[in-house]
Amino acid sequence: MRFRPFSELDIERLNQVAGNRPLSLGAVRHFARTGHSFLAEEGETPLGFALAQAVWQGEATTVLVTRLEGRNKEVLEGLLQAVVKSAYDAGVYEVALHLDPAREELAEALKAQGFAVGPLVLAVRVLGSRGARGETRGVLE
């Protein structure tokens, strides 16, 4: 299995593992430039991806993983390792992501890779017509 940066040319491969939340070309273009986003593959078969970017927090920079998808725990752990290495190589010493508690396999992968899980909870308010419909998915996911 290999983990590599992706480009906009990989959009179809990324969307093979994106499930019911396909990536837009704009999102792929953005994350392809961050230096912290990766595609996992075995041969020509895509197995997962990590979308991450460095975010300045006022006093320190954090690599924020916006979305992490993988076919199994091994893929998720490999993607986490790739993001952590890219952060360290860039001199960024914090990596974070928001975890949906229903994603037990991801929680296990995070713990296996040395991440502390909890106790923070993400509060979300969506404005405009999406908020009026009660939508909250996709915010920092």
Walk along the chain (141 residues) and give the pLDDT tens digit of each residue: 999 999 999 999 999 999 999 999 999 999 999 999 999 999 999 999 999 999 998 889 999 999 999 999 999 999 999 999 999 999 999 999 999 889 999 999 999 999 999 887 778 888 999 889 988 877 776
The SS3 assignment for 3 reads strand
Edge-to-edge strands, sheet with 38-42: 2-4, 38-42, 45-56, 61-70, 95-97
Domains in the chain, start-ordered, CATH in brackets? 2-132 (3.40.630.30)
What does the alpha-carbon distance between residue 19 and residue 66 come to, in Å, rounded to a whole number?
16
Inter-CA distances, 92 with 53, 61, 71, Å: 11, 6, 28
Per-residue pLDDT, 111: 95
pTM, whole model, 2 decimals? 0.91
Which residues contact residue 84 at a Cβ distance below 8 angstroms, ignoring those fewer than 6 apart? 95, 113
Per-residue pLDDT, 141: 66
DSSP structural state of residue 35: S
DSSP structural state of residue 140: T
Strands 2-4 and 38-42 come out as antiparallel
